[in-house]
Structure 1
Amino acid sequence: MAESDQEVASIDPLVLGELLKCAANNLWLGIILFGSDRRVIFCNPRYREMYALSPDQVHPGTPIKDLIEHRLKLGLNIGGEAGAYVRARTEGSVVSEQTVQQFADGRIIAYTIHPLPDGGGMATHEDITEREELSARLQERNFQFDIAINNMSHGLCFFDAGHRLVVCNTHFIEMYGLPPDRVRPGTPLQEILDLRYEVGSVPAMTREEYAKWRTDVATSAEAMDSIVEMRNGRTFKIRHRPMPDLGWVATHEDITEQRKTELRIAHMAHHDALTDLANRALLGQRLEQALEQGGMFAIHHIDLDKFKAVNDTLGHQAGDILLQDVSRRLKLLARDSDTVARMGGDEFVILQSSISDSSEADLLARDVVSTLSAPFGLDGHQAIAGASIGIAIAPGDGSTPEQLLHNADLALYRAKSDGRGMHCFFEPAMGEEAQSRRALEQDLHNGLAAGEFELHYQPVVKSDGGEISGFEALIRWRHPRRGLVAPNSFIPLAEEIGLIVPIGEWVIRQACATASRWPDHLHVAVNISAVQFRQPGLTEVIVGALAASGLDPRRLEIEITESVLLQDRNGTLATLHQLRALGIKVAMDDFGTGYSSLTYLQCFPFDKIKIDRSFVSGVENNAASLSIVRAVAALARGMGMTTTAEGVETEEQRDRIAAEGCTEMQGYLFSPPLPAEEIERRFLFEKTPARPDRFAAA
C-alpha cells in the first residue's frame, strides 16, 4: 500500500467524511449524488447556486425528476420533447454521459454523469460560459488573423527559437512554389530551405552557401533587409526582424515588377529616349571615372552637317530615323570600353578611353566621318548626313569633364568653319578665337541696339547703253573700335545666333525707305538669308516696309541663294509666290555655285539670274568660265529672265560679258558700294553723271 493510501486509511472515517464534504462544498463544480431510486443523496452549494435552488428545493430525498424539470423551466435547450428527455434520464440504468447544455439566458454548462456501483450516479455541472465565449473570441481572432495574413501582398513566416515554423501564410508558400502539405507548423527551417532549393526559388548559390546565408540571417539579433535575385528570374525583398524570444518574423515581398520599373527608370535617367545612347548625365559620370583612372583618352564631339536639311525636307520622322541610324553606325565603330552619347539635337560624343596616342583618335574620327558620309535610307529616300568632329585629348586638353567637352566643342567649331566633313584636334589658340567670337557676338547685339549698321549701295548697270537700272543694298557695320566691318566678317555669325532676323528686317525697311527717294525707274535689291525665310512673317515684314515707305512693290527685288530652297522647300516656294504676286521681283543669287541650280529654275519662275563673280573673274583667260557665262545668259533668255554678272572689275570683262548677252552688270569697274548720300550725289541728283563714259542714271 502506498504511503499516501496508508495516511488516508489511518484517518477516522467520520473525520474523513467531513473533509470530503468540505472539499465538495468548496468546489467550482456543481456536484449532485443520487441513489438507484433517482433521489438526491447530496448536492453542494455550487449546484444550488448555478440553478437558483434553495435548500428546501434540493435536499436528500428530492427526486432527480424535479431537478431536471426545474432546469427545463430555466430554459435548458434540449432540442426535443421534454417528457422524453426527462424519462431518458430517470428511467432505466444510469449510463455515462458528457454533454454541453445551453440555456436561454446564454449560459453554457458542461454536464457529466458517472454511474455508481450501487445503481446510483454522480453528476457534475460546470459553468463554462466565460471559457466558451473566450474560446469563441479566440477562434474569431484566429480566423481574422488567418484572413489577414493570407490576404497580405507579402509572404509572411514566423519561426521559433528552435528554427521551427510557427506559422506562415499562403502567399509565402505560393511565391516560393512550395508544396503546401510539407510546410506546416513545426517544419524545420532547413527543410524549408531544401524545398526552396529543389524548386529553384533560390539565388545563384550552392545549396550549402544558401543554407548558411539564411541560417546566419535567422540567428542574427540584428534586423536585416535583403534584395535577392532568384534563379527563376524573380526578385524578392526579405525583411528579417528578430523577436524577444529568440525567434523571428520575416516578410517576403515579390518586387520583380517594381525592380524592372526601377531599372527602366534608372536606364531612362541615363540614356537618350530616341537612340538609347548614353545621355549627357551618364557621359559626365563616365568622364569622371576616366579622369579618376588616369591615362589618355579622347573626346570626339560630332555634329551632323546636313541634319537640318533632312529634317526640313523629309520631316521630323525621317530626322528621327536618321538619328537612330547614325547611333547604330557609331556604336559599331566604338569599342566596348568606349561610351557613345547623344548630347541633344544632332550632336553626339564618343568617349574613346584608354588610347596610347592621338593617332588612335585620328583613326576613329576618320572612320566616323567616312561612315556618316555614306547614304542613309529614309522611307524610300536617300540622304547624306555628313559629320564634323572636334577632338579633345585628356589629360592634356583638360582636367574636368566640362573643360574637355568645351575644348572639343571649340575644335568642332573650327572643323565646321573649315568646310565641314572633317575633324580637328583642339589647340590652345582656339580658346582665344572663341573668346573673340563671343566678344563679336556681344558687339553685334550692342551694334543693332546702337544703330551701328548702315547700308551701302552698288549700282547695277545695263549692258546695253550703260544706264543704271537699280542698286543692290549691301550692309556694313561701322564698329566703334574696328571701323567699317565687311559683311562676310559678321553675317555668318549673325545667322548662327539668329540675329540676322532683326538685322534683315532693318535692312528691308531701310532699303525701301531710301529707294522711295529715287526716280521711279530705279529698283533696289535686297538679299534675304535662309534663316529669315525659316521665320514666320517674312511676307508681312516686307509688305510693312513697302507700306511705310510708299515704295512701289515692282521696284523691290529680293535676292536669294539655293540654300533658301534646301529647307522647307514647299513653304519657301509658297512665300516666293506670295511676294511675286505683289509685284516684287525675285532673283537667284550666286547661280551655279550649288549642286541643283537648274532644278530650282524649274520649280520657280525667277525674274533674274545673278552669275557668280567666280565665273566672271575668269572670262578673260578661262574658256570654261566664258562658256558658263554664255550658257547661263542663253538659258536666261530662253526662260524669259534677265541676267546680272557680278564682280565686273575690268573693261575686258565688261566687253566679253556684254558680248555673251548678259543683261546687266555690277562691280568695282562701275562703282564700289557707297553710302546712300554718296550714291545720290554722284549718280542721281547731279546733272552730270560721275562716269559719263561708262554709265548714267538715265
Structure 2
Amino acid sequence: MKATEQGALPTDVYLSFVSSLYEYRQTLLIGMLSHVVTFSLVFAKTSDPFYLACCAAVIVIWLGRSVGMRRFDHVDRSALDFNGIRMWENRYNAGAVCATITLGSACGYSILVSRDAFAELACISVTLATMVSVVGRNYGSARAVVMLTFSACGPIVIGLLALLDGFMALLALLMVPFILTTWSMATGVREFLHKNVKAAREISTIAARFDVALNNMPHGLFMLDSGNRILVANRRACELLNLGDQARLKDCHLDAVLRYGVRHTFLEQDRAKQVLRQLDQLMKGVQSRALIPFSDDLFLEFSASRRAHGGVVLIFEDVTARVRAEKKILQMVRFDTLTGLPNRDYFADLVSNALSERTQAGPIGFMVLDVAEFKHVNDTKGHVVGDRLLCVIAERLKKVSIDTAIAARLMGDEFVLFFPNADNRDDLEDRMRAVHGQMRGSYNASGFTFNMSMSAGYVISSSSGFRLEDLQIKADLALFETKSRNKGGCTAFEAEMDALYLDRQKLKSDLREALDNDNLSVAYQPMFLPDGTRIECCEALARWTHRERGPVSPVVFIQLAEEMGVVSEITHIMLRQACRDCMTWPSHVAVSVNLSALDLRNSDIVAFITDTLTETGLDPARLHLEVTESCLLEEAVKVQTILQELRARGITIAIDDFGTGYSSLSYLDALPLDIIKIDRSFVRNIREDARRFKLLRGTVNLSRELGLKIVIEGVETEDQLALINEFKCADLVQGYVFAAPMPSFSIVDLCDTLAKKRPSTKRRRRTA
C-alpha cells in the first residue's frame, strides 16, 4: 500500500486531506452558476428540454452538497476515527460524482442526440473546464479523482466512439492521456501536500519540544537581534526578572525591558543602568561571564554567545543559593564559629589591610588576652555554659574595641587585639590598658554570674618593619609573665623576656634530648611508720641533672614536659625504673609513682603498668599510684574507670596533695582510694596555729571513718612529728624529719640500718 493511499495515512493527515474537500466552497457556487448558464444557453439554442433538466439537476446537487458541507462544519473532528473520516469522504464523493455524471451525460447527449455543434462545444468545454477542479479541489481523495474523471469523461468517449467515425474515434482515444494526466497531476499534488503535511507535523513537533524545553529549562534565555531587540524569551527569564507574559517581550529592546522592571519597582534606576553596562560589556565580549546582584535576594549570573548572523543569546541563572553558600563558607573560613570574631588567618589579613592604609610610620600595639580560671568554669558548670561565657566575653570585646582595635579569637579562651593607629606610645599604652580594664568584671551567661579577670600581655612596636609573628611571640611572652607572677594583670613585653623565652626553648630542646638519651634519674623519699622504725613505702621522684646547668628543679622541667606533651614519657621511665629498683628492696617496702592528668586520659596506661609489672616481676601490691585532684577535673568518669581497673589488679591508689584542689571531700567517696596523702600545707605551724591543727585532725578523722590509710607529707621538725604522734594523726609520715630523697641503693642501706636498730628499740620499750 502506498503512503498516499488513505488506508496507509495517519489519521490526522487523512483528516486534513478530507477536510480540504470541504473547503473553498465558493468554487462550487461558481461552478454551479457556470453550468446553469451553459445549459440555459444550449437550451436557448436547441430548445431541448433535456438541458433544462440538467440545469435543475445541477442546482439540486449543489444544494445537497452545501447542506452536507455545513454539517461537516459542526462535526467534532478531533473525535473522528478512520471510519468516520471515510464516511465523510464518501458523502463528498457521492455529491461530486452526481455533478460530474450530470456534466458527462449532457456531453454524451449533445454528441449522440442533439448533434448541434454549439451544444457539443458548450457541454464539452464546461465539462473539461470542470476537470481542472478535479486536480485543484479533489486531490485529497484518490477515489474521488478516479470516479470524477470517469464519470465526466466516460460519456464523452462513449459518444465519440458511438459515431463510428474514424476521426472521432481517434479523438476519443486522445481523451485517455488527458484522463491519465489528470490522475497524475492530482496524485502529484497529493504526494506534495502529504510531504508538506509530514514536514509541518515534524516541524510542529520539534517546535513544541523546543518550546517545552525552552520554557522548562532552569536558566533564563533572551535571544537578541543585532539591535538588542528580543526575538525569543523563555518563561524562566520572565519569572526571574518579573516581566510578566513572555509574548509581550517580542521585538522589545532590552533597555526598555529593564526600564519596565524599574517602573515596577524590580530595579532602582541607577541599578538598572549598572546592569545594562555590565550586560553591554558581556555582549561585546569584554567579559565571558557576569555575576549581577539585582537585589539582596536575587543574584543572576549571565553568559553571552554571539550568533552567526548578528545578535546575541543571553543565558542567565539564579545563583542566589550559591552566592549565599559562598558567603556562608567565607564567613566560616574567616570567622570563629562560636564567637563570631575573626579567626587567626582572617585577623592577619585585617591587620595587613589596616597597616596598608597608614600614610606614615607610627606606634602600633598587639595584645593577647587570656580568660583567667576559665578551665574552672568548664569543669564546674560544663562546656555549654563555658561556650556561652566565651560568647558574652567576645561581645564585650567587640564593644570596647570597636573604635580602637581589631579583635579576634586566637584559640580556646585566648583573644588578640591589634591597635593600628595611635599618636604616641603613651597614648597607645593607656588605650590598651583601658581595654584590659574594661574586660574585667562580671558576666552573665546561662543564668550564672561570673566575676572574671583577664591576664594580658602586650607589646608596642613601630609600624615600619612590622612582622605579626614577632609581635605575637612577644605578646605571648608578656602573657606568660603575667600568668607566672600576676595572674589577672597586664604586662608589657620587655627585652629580657625574649632572652628568657629563648632560654626556655633551649631547655625544652635539652629535655627532649635527655628523654631520648635516658638521662633522667630517680630518687626516692621514704614513708616511715610514725615512730620512724620502719620504711613502708618510697615515693619515686624524677631528677634531671643538666650537663651545663646542673640539677634542674622538677617544678621547672615537669612543667616544660607538660607544655611539650611528653610528661607521659617521663611517667613510663619512672614506672619501669621504680619497679626494677623496688625488686632490690626488702619485700615489705612498696614504691609509689605519680600519674599525671595526661596519663589518665588514655586507658593504655593500664596495659603499660600491667606489662611493666610482668616484665619486672613486681607484686602489684607493692606498687602505689598517686594521683592529684587536678587529674580528676577532666573526664572524671573515665579517670574513675581507669583507677578502678588498676585497683582491681591489686595496685594501691593514693590521692596526693589532698586539700589543695577545688572540691577535695567529694573525691574521698567517689574514687577507688586506699591512701590519702595530706598536703604539707596542713602541717605547717600546727603547733602555733590551733585552727590549722583542728583542720588536720578533722580531715584525718573523716578519712579514717572512710577506711583510708593516712600519709602526712612535709613533716620537717620533731615538734610537728611529736604532735602528730600524740594525736595519732598518721599511719605513715613522709618528710625531712626522717629522710630526704635518696638513690635506690641508699634505701637498701637505710632499711638494713633500721632493721639492726629495731630489737634494741623493742627492749628499751619493755624496760620502760
Q: Please state which band the TM-score falls in when normalised by the shorter chain.
A: 0.7 to 0.9
AA in 2 matched with 1:251? I
Q: CA RMSD in A?
A: 4.4
Mapped pair 1:186 → 2:251:
yes
State the alpha-carbon separation in 1 of the partners of residues 464 and 582 from structure 2. 54
Give 1 or 2: higher strand fraction.
1
- Scaled by the length of structure 1, what TM-score is found? 0.74
Given that 1:102 and 1:108 are in contact with CA atoms closer than 8 Å, whether structure 2 keeps it comes out as no
Mapped pair 1:262 → 2:333:
no
Of residues 70-79 and 242-251 in structure 1, the stretch that sits farther from structure 2 once superposed is 70-79
State the alpha-carbon separation in 2 of the partners of residues 330 and 352 from structure 1. 13
AA in 1 matched with 2:742? L
Mapped pair 1:292 → 2:359:
no
Equivalent of 1:646 in 713, 719, 728: 713
State the alpha-carbon separation in 2 of the partners of residues 400 and 366 from structure 1. 27
* 2:19 equivalent in structure 1: none
**Number of residue pairs the alignment of both structures matches:** 608
Mapped pair 1:681 → 2:744:
no
* 2:520 equivalent in structure 1: 453
* 2:415 equivalent in structure 1: 348
Change (3 A) 1:179 1:637: closer
Gaps of 5+ in 2: 1-33, 40-120, 154-182
* 1:668 equivalent in structure 2: 736
Mapped pair 1:363 → 2:434:
yes
Matches within 5 A, 1:120-135: none
Given that 2:135 and 2:185 are in contact with CA atoms closer than 8 Å, whether structure 1 keeps it comes out as no
AA in 2 matched with 1:445? R
In structure 2, the residue corresponding to 1:205 is in which secondary structure?
Answer: helix
Change (3 A) 1:243 1:203: farther
CA deviation digits over 1:198-250, x for unaligned, max 9?
2222246277x569858976996856754332247322234456668775443
State the alpha-carbon separation in 2 of the partners of residues 661 and 219 from structure 1. 99
Give 1 or 2: higher helix fraction.
2
Q: Quote the offset at 1:359 in angstroms.
A: 1.9
Q: Quote the offset at 1:563 in angstroms.
A: 1.0
State the alpha-carbon separation in 2 of the partners of residues 523 and 190 from structure 1. 95
* 1:76 equivalent in structure 2: 139
Given that 2:222 and 2:234 are in contact with CA atoms closer than 8 Å, whether structure 1 keeps it comes out as yes
Change (3 A) 1:309 1:573: farther
Equivalent of 1:283 in 338, 343, 347: 347
AA in 1 matched with 2:337? A
In structure 1, the residue corresponding to 2:317 is in which secondary structure?
Answer: strand
Matches within 5 A, 1:156-235: 156-162=221-227, 164-180=229-245, 183-203=248-268, 205=270, 209=273, 213=277, 225-231=289-295, 233-235=297-299
Q: Quote the offset at 1:162 in angstroms.
A: 4.8
State the alpha-carbon separation in 1 of the partners of residues 240 and 697 from structure 2. 87
AA in 2 matched with 1:365? H
CA deviation digits over 1:308-355, x for unaligned, max 9?
566567766566555545544544444267444333444433445535
CA deviation digits over 1:370-424, x for unaligned, max 9?
35xx4743xx888888654333334379712222233333333333333644443
Larger Rg: 2
Of residues 67-76 and 188-197 in structure 1, the stretch that sits farther from structure 2 once superposed is 67-76
State the alpha-carbon separation in 1 of the partners of residues 288 and 672 from structure 2. 81
Given that 1:456 and 1:673 are in contact with CA atoms closer than 8 Å, whether structure 2 keeps it comes out as yes
Equivalent of 2:477 in 404, 410, 430: 410
CA deviation digits over 1:662-692, x for unaligned, max 9?
32322223222111122323443687569x9
In structure 2, the residue corresponding to 1:525 is in which secondary structure?
Answer: strand
Matches within 5 A, 1:377-526: 377=446, 388-395=455-462, 399-418=466-485, 420-464=487-531, 466-526=533-593
Q: Quote the offset at 1:197 in angstroms.
A: 1.0
Gaps of 5+ in 1: 1-33, 39-59, 91-100, 110-126
AA in 1 matched with 2:219? H
Change (3 A) 1:485 1:174: closer
Q: Quote the offset at 1:128 in angstroms.
A: 8.5
State the alpha-carbon separation in 1 of the partners of residues 587 and 227 from structure 2. 111
Q: Quote the offset at 1:451 in angstroms.
A: 1.7
State the alpha-carbon separation in 1 of the partners of residues 604 and 276 from structure 2. 76
In structure 1, the residue corresponding to 2:598 is in which secondary structure?
Answer: helix
State the alpha-carbon separation in 1 of the partners of residues 296 and 688 from structure 2. 83
In structure 1, the residue corresponding to 2:441 is in which secondary structure?
Answer: helix
State the alpha-carbon separation in 1 of the partners of residues 533 and 406 from structure 2. 65
Change (3 A) 1:133 1:630: closer
Given that 2:679 and 2:712 are in contact with CA atoms closer than 8 Å, whether structure 1 keeps it comes out as yes
* 2:628 equivalent in structure 1: 561
In structure 1, the residue corresponding to 2:252 is in which secondary structure?
Answer: coil
Q: Quote the offset at 1:693 in angstroms.
A: 9.6
Change (3 A) 1:407 1:64: farther
Change (3 A) 1:179 1:582: closer
State the alpha-carbon separation in 2 of the partners of residues 523 and 633 from structure 1. 22
CA deviation digits over 1:521-543, x for unaligned, max 9?
22222222222222222233333
Matches within 5 A, 1:104-143: 107=189
State the alpha-carbon separation in 1 of the partners of residues 357 and 204 from structure 2. 66
Q: Quote the offset at 1:263 in angstroms.
A: 1.8
